[in-house]
Amino acid sequence: MESPGHRDNILSPHFEDCGIAIIDGMPMRRGTGKSIVVMFGETRATSVATR
C-alpha cells in the first residue's frame, strides 16, 4: 500500500475482479524467491459464451 499506483488500483471501485498468481522461484533468473502477479479487471456485461 506504500506505492500510490498500486494503492489506487487496489482501492478503485472500477475494478470488480482480481486474479493472483504466485510462482515459487524466479523465472528467467538464477536464485530463489517468489514471483507475485496481481491482475485487476472489470466483468464484461456480455460474455463470449452468450453471444
The DSSP letter of residue 11 is H
pTM for this prediction = 0.51
How many beta carbons lie within 10 A of that of residue 1, not counting itself?
7
Q: Kindly state whether residue 50 falls inside one of the protein's structural domains.
A: no
Please give the residue range of the domain that contains residue 33: 4-43
pLDDT of the residue at 27: 63
Is 20 within a domain? yes
Determine, yes or no, domain membership for 28: yes
Q: 6-37: per-residue pLDDT in tens?
A: 888 888 888 888 889 988 876 666 667 788 88
C-alpha cell read off for 48: 463470449
What is the pLDDT, as a whole number, of residue 41? 84
What is the structure's pLDDT at 36?
84
Count of structural domains within the chain: 1
| SS3 assignment, position 44 | coil
Cell of 15: 475494478
Q: Which three cell numbers stand for residue 47?
A: 460474455
Q: Would 16 be classed as within a structural domain?
A: yes
- 37: in domain: yes
pLDDT-derived band at 48, boundaries 50, 70, 90: low
15 found inside a domain: yes
